[in-house]
Structure 1
Amino acid sequence: MKILIRNLPRTLSETALKELFEAYGEVQSCTLVLDQKSSASKGFGFVEIAKVDDAKVAIQALNGKPINGNKIRVKKADSGK
């Protein structure tokens, strides 16, 4: 299941984001969205967790969790239209 994470601290690395979600299951992919010009974080990213049940637990556990002063918002990513 692909998960959207918003309101990430701009200092958070892709590695740290992946490690945060690995506590809940096998992370298949992790992408921190970066500004094309500056390469700075845009404050959101995507994580894909192999098992749907693990992903649901991660969403429940991490939505609203403070990370470096920011309460992150975590939800199932919308599928492409």
Structure 2
Amino acid sequence: MEPLDSDYEVVVREPNPRARFNWLYVFPILGGVWLLFLLSAAIFQIPITGVIDPIMGLMLVMFFVLAGLLFYALAPKAGR
């Protein structure tokens, strides 16, 4: 009987540096949802005056979140 070949190589998976950019897909999705909301309000003549101020505040906050995520995604790896 032959011995089983139990030698195995440990494969080290290095993280993909481009994977940090996946968080940025949230912003076009939110923009699309906002445009669909505005389009439906225009088509169905829905008053949205009460929604505009909170959304504009949210957009201001999301701008700073976008800037922070860009700094995070474009930062060099700490191990280099």
Structure number with higher helix proportion? 2
TM (norm. structure 1) is 0.28
Indicate the structure whose relative CO is greater, using CA pairs within 8 Å and at least 6 residues apart.
2
